[in-house]
Structure 1
């Protein structure tokens, strides 16, 4: 019998009143363990989550979709937030924290001059595109990576429904996106300079937006090539660092590679679980925001900027990016050893602080479901992806490895799809964005 009865019942109710069941696709139960996932939390601290029935789980998975690199409920960040809540979160006046946070971000990125703040990654990416298009005077955008849910991005799939398949959105239909946006956004694959050149020479491109790095490292000279070509052609270069920012460096990952864009976008880890995102850029680009309309009431609330300031202070004090990168590399090595010991082939990838693996098997989804199911029974939220946090301490990782090894030992005896499915307590999990419901 499933221990998380309250969560399962609430998920059933949610799907009747909320399209898809919740607000974030990546947190839907079907993505993890259909009909068995606890779905809802009562509280979270460090890297532990408690469900509605009081069961606790060590989170060795997505850690709030990468928002909590300092762990859940960090006392210093929460204290800063509670202080501004007690003073008042909203007013007819502006909050001073937005200025202080902007100054901190610019101090970390000397190439940038100005900042716009928002509250979600999708918003920040849309703001960046609006400003960049206004600055360049051209509509065409070349992209490489995942950049949110807004019309500008999904329009890439209007004329070819597979255009975003290499960008984490396989098979996604752009229903609801105006057809006249077709032909404005053009994807190119990472580390593929030939494809990049084809896109920017055959189309009237004014903006290039890309992730600095996600699952694979940039080939020697790749980022430099992109930078040189965009400068030469007067194209605005945006680095989307919503996921990679503050993970391997104190600031954007581009600092590690020594390649500065015209604009950069930050999110997720910036507020350690509180909603705050940022767009930074050079003055000549960012001032284009004054020639278009970009404004929203809740971008002026106080909690987000206060959390951002406190988070940056704690990160600097701990050197969290170093801790998380070292832990992530240990986890990668642990996976490889477990894989070899149990003769279960896997492919390990990802940033040091966002390690991931995939089963080298046509039955990878079924195996992933089985892994999540068995680890959940043993008190772990576990998938083949981990957003490492500073609370993933050595003893926790060691115990996780021991439990994971036991599950891999069971997997080593499961060879056919029917064998795996016979061991599942429910359906196989969904794959990425292919099925939305």
Structure 2
């Protein structure tokens, strides 16, 4: 399999010269891909993308889980084009703001009010600020087992990339383990009266333990804390109403994003009226400067969100995502077993939100083996940091992907037998996003 990446290499050099990190999201950086094999995308359609060298790929993890309907979805584009002709931003709210809000609250009936913004970090940070305001407490308790909540100081202070954040900020964030109510209760007791909120993704790779989310809600409320679900990923992927709709546990506040706009920039803070009104105009309590963004309600992004919600409701998109994911997972597991690497190339997660693990000879996560695997996929015309599916994937796409994965697994077996993947990595290994030095 021969591919040229010369134009992408040049484009990456230009990106790194002009843009810190060479991308506007660290997870899209060239360090996340094999050396000189980080395609720079020209365009996409459905579940396929093309790079600036003209290489075509079946794409997974579209837009870091944002493009769940596929690229250039006709109904979304039609709605956006229609709204663009009407103007994009005004000195007062557009009527589409209330239409989008009401449509969102239909899709997410566990919420009473919603406020739109541009990215998930804004929404989660607004939720944290609101929780601190209503409780009068300083500490934020976040789930230590979940990878990312916000670009803001309250979260980044606890990562290896905490440069520029005073230590005092890090001291205001504590952590609890997922699925362990006893440990969380111990944390709340140890910091009695100091923890404003518990924030977590309600589910990631596995379903939550039976009774866990209910128990966490009750525990938070018993200790006077606000429960926040980060549904940035799970919203409109686990169900239209997110994990809270799937598992039947309503948080006090929640953030939505990613799939809400099918790639257009729109996210949301949603929650109970008593809390959300603290950022409003019809409440007598001290006000919270909740969310106030010039571009938070751009009309074309809200039109995209309305179209996405309509497509989800009318076309059974959640069911489609699960069916496609189940087909892919079954195929990958079969070819991995055939190559004798089923314990090393592992598919995990809910069918609509699949990831893959690449394990070494000792069954430990390996960046070098991940590099080998990604390299073989890219050479075979498949790209993605995960196996997160879109509804645009066809049976032919899945069959082709499974075939490419099968070929990659054969190479993986060779590397395992040799005890060294480096002859098959093409250079330096891919890097973790959170690291102190480049």
Q: Number of residue pairs matched?
A: 420
Q: Distance in 2 between matches of 1:182 and 1:3?
A: 45
Contact 2:261 2:301 in 1 (8 A): yes
CA shift for structure 1 position 81: 0.6
CA shift for structure 1 position 363: 6.9
Q: Distance in 1 between matches of 2:418 and 2:218?
A: 49
CA shift for structure 1 position 418: 6.8
Match in the other structure for 1:312: 309
Contact 1:136 1:206 in 2 (8 A): yes
CA shift for structure 1 position 198: 1.7
Of 230, 233, 242, 1:252 maps to 242
Matched ranges for 1:187-198 at <5 A: 187-198=175-186
Match in the other structure for 2:226: 236
Of 266, 270, 275, 1:280 maps to 270
Contact 2:35 2:426 in 1 (8 A): no
Q: Distance in 2 between matches of 1:122 and 1:235?
A: 21
Q: Distance in 1 between matches of 2:35 and 2:316?
A: 38
Match in the other structure for 1:224: 214
CA shift for structure 1 position 436: 6.1
Q: Distance in 1 between matches of 2:150 and 2:365?
A: 29
Q: Distance in 2 between matches of 1:206 and 1:375?
A: 45
Q: Deviations over 1:307-339 (max 9, x none)?
A: 110110011111111110121122222222122
Q: TM-score, normalised by structure 2?
A: 0.92
Match in the other structure for 2:151: 149
1:41 aligns with 2:31: no
Contact 1:329 1:355 in 2 (8 A): no
CA shift for structure 1 position 435: 5.7
1:333 aligns with 2:330: yes
CA shift for structure 1 position 431: 2.5
**Secondary structure, counterpart of 1:415 in structure 2:** helix
Q: Distance in 2 between matches of 1:41 and 1:396?
A: 19
> Per the alignment, do residues 419 and 208 of structure 1 end up closer, same or farther by CA in structure 2, a change over 3 Å counting?
closer
CA shift for structure 1 position 6: 1.6
Q: TM-score, normalised by structure 1?
A: 0.92
Contact 1:268 1:277 in 2 (8 A): yes
Match in the other structure for 1:101: 100
CA shift for structure 1 position 265: 0.7
> Per the alignment, do residues 182 and 55 of structure 1 end up closer, same or farther by CA in structure 2, a change over 3 Å counting?
closer
Q: Deviations over 1:206-225 (max 9, x none)?
A: 21111110122211111111
Q: Deviations over 1:277-328 (max 9, x none)?
A: 0011111111122412231211132122111101100111111111101211
> Per the alignment, do residues 227 and 32 of structure 1 end up closer, same or farther by CA in structure 2, a change over 3 Å counting?
same
Q: Deviations over 1:326-375 (max 9, x none)?
A: 21122222222122111112333212211122123147322211121122
1:55 aligns with 2:55: yes
Match in the other structure for 1:323: 320
Match in the other structure for 1:164: none
CA RMSD of aligned residues (A): 1.8
Runs of 4 or more above 6 Å deviation: none
1:89 aligns with 2:88: yes
1:387 aligns with 2:388: yes
Matched ranges for 1:330-409 at <5 A: 330-344=327-341, 345-346=343-344, 347-361=346-360, 362=364, 364-383=366-385, 385-409=386-410
**Secondary structure, counterpart of 2:104 in structure 1:** helix
